[in-house]
Amino acid sequence: MNPREPIVRAEAWLCELAVERPRTDAMQSFRAQETVFVELTLASGARGLGYTYTIGTGGGAVLSLLRETLLPAVVGLDATRPEALWTALLDTTRATTVGAITALAIAAVDTAAWDATTRRDGRPLWQAAGGAQESVPTYDTEGGWLHLHVDELVQGAVAAQQAGFAGIKVKVGKPSLAEDLDRLTAVRAAVGSADGFEIMLDANQCFTLDDAIRRARAFEAIDPAWLEEPLPADDPLAHQQLARATTIPIAVGESLYSIRQFQTYASLGAATILQPDVARIGGITPWLKVAHLAETHSLPVAPHFLMELHVSLACAVPNGRYVEHVPQLSAITRTTQQVREGRLHAPITPGLGIDWNRDEIDRRRIA
């Protein structure tokens, strides 16, 4: 087999996926997932399908950057050299990095290249990227959205516990601390604390520093696993102050778009759980760098969203702690990840391990 695999064709298109259930947090509602696909064809005939996403806006901008700039630049490059490929894409977009649109666009190409080469080689992604562990614990997010009433929240938490999940993520950021505490206290009372069922908190960047400190100190009574994105993600110094003021672990990452942003948080001790999102960080290649960076600081990774892809990445590295269970690809895949004894298992099929339904993808194509 020729070790070199030039990319001979690159295509991109945009689909819109309705949310699988209503999703709200302290800052926004999740209306739809704009899913941008990239398909690469290699000289050998091997193909790879990669993707990226937004939660309702900006998908057209990502698609335009791909079609006008990145895909013409990628043809002729060697798909078997992910570092060289990723660097070439970055060099092509120097004027727009670091930035969300650029990172999202590069991620679609990078994931497609990994899919193509691992399919060609007959290897599943989790093994090709490291193969550290065959499964990781998973926690439920769907039962913890901010719009849910207290009784619905309790029902969702109990259902997740009975289904074997390792925990549940509860959104915080109600207008008053009392409202947040009422919800959290009810959930903790319902699930107890004896069996290790965790409660993860997520503020979606809604607090000011003083409010975050005040609320975190009150939240300590329910012993949460972490407080996620309590403050604007581009303010690591404020997160550092908060981390010093509370015993709750601070988690960040879904709104960070470069490796060095994660480096800043880790070096400052501003976060003790890193949550890289493979689309927002720019693909599998930089995601693995963040995971290894976290390992050097003795920090776990618990990636944000995209469970269908993140299960393979979290299994690839030794410090993959959790995968967030938020199904969003059911409409365009033939199979979905099944929770077994509170864990998700890495797909063993070659490539990304996502069983795409191309007919359903085509039906939802809007550009």
Q: What is the pLDDT of residue 50?
A: 98
As annotated, the active-site residues are: 171, 304
pTM here?
0.96
Phi/psi region, residue 187 (left: phi>0; alpha: psi -120 to 50; beta: rest), is alpha
Q: What is the pLDDT of residue 2?
A: 56
Q: What is the pLDDT of residue 32?
A: 82
Cβ pair 108, 50 in contact under 8 A = yes
CATH topology of domain 127-356: TIM Barrel (3.20.20)
Q: What is the pLDDT of residue 228?
A: 98
For the chain, give every domain's residue range: 7-122+359-363, 127-356
Cβ pair 310, 339 in contact under 8 A = no
Low-confidence ranges of the chain (pLDDT < 50): 1
For residues 294 and 302, what is the distance between their CA atoms, to the nearest angstrom? 11
CATH code of the domain made up of 7-122+359-363: 3.30.390.10
Q: What is the pLDDT of residue 195?
A: 83
CA angle at 114 for the pair 112 and 118, rounded to the nearest 5°: 120
